[in-house]
């Protein structure tokens, strides 16, 4: 039997959390190391590490939780802009092996950055041929 993750301990009440909301198949709580005020984590109640391991229903429930958290944060922070991040696996930066979405309210001058700021600058030359080949290969993988 695998050891319970931090989030499973939170779901079972073994570890306290600052709940923001919950619903069918999801639970949301404030991040204890927030990148900004209101930084909320939304987790499925099913303990899996990767999005692909959730059922279609569970993925839908998780996104319903994200939308509800956005609604609550919109009221509190008077914004409709959010950064929503899911690190899907350890190489993507996932620190707790349980699917979770980070929901951060964005406001004027909050010092947050864009996804592009996470990597070095890219060439501004668009290689449509290379993109076309990759897209074709990806479609073929699904057949």
Task: Please identify every residue annotated as catalytic.
Answer: 100
Residue 28 has φ and ψ, to the nearest 5°, of -130, 140
Task: Match 């349980």 to its residue by tokens.
Answer: 98
Closest by CA to 42, choosing from 59, 54, 28, 32, is 28
Is the Cβ–Cβ distance between 28 and 18 less than 8 Å? no
Q: Are 82 and 70 in contact (CB under 8 A)?
A: yes
Query: Residue 47: helix, strand or coil by DSSP?
Result: coil
């Amino acid at each position: 039997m695998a050891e319970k993750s931090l989030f499973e301990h939170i779901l079972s009440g073994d570890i306290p959390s600052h709940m923001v909301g919950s619903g069918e198949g999801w639970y949301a709580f404030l991040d204890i190391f927030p990148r900004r005020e209101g930084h909320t984590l939304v987790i499925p109640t099913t303990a899996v590490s990767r999005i692909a391991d959730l059922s279609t229903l569970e993925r839908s429930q998780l996104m319903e939780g994200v939308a509800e958290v956005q609604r609550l944060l919109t009221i509190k922070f008077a914004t409709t802009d959010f950064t929503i991040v899911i690190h899907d696996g350890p190489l993507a930066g996932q620190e707790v092996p349980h699917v979770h979405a980070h929901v951060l309210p964005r406001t004027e001058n909050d010092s947050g950055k864009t996804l592009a700021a996470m990597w070095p600058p890219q060439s501004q030359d668009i290689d449509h041929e290379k993109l076309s080949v990759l897209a074709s290969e990806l479609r073929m993988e699904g057949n």
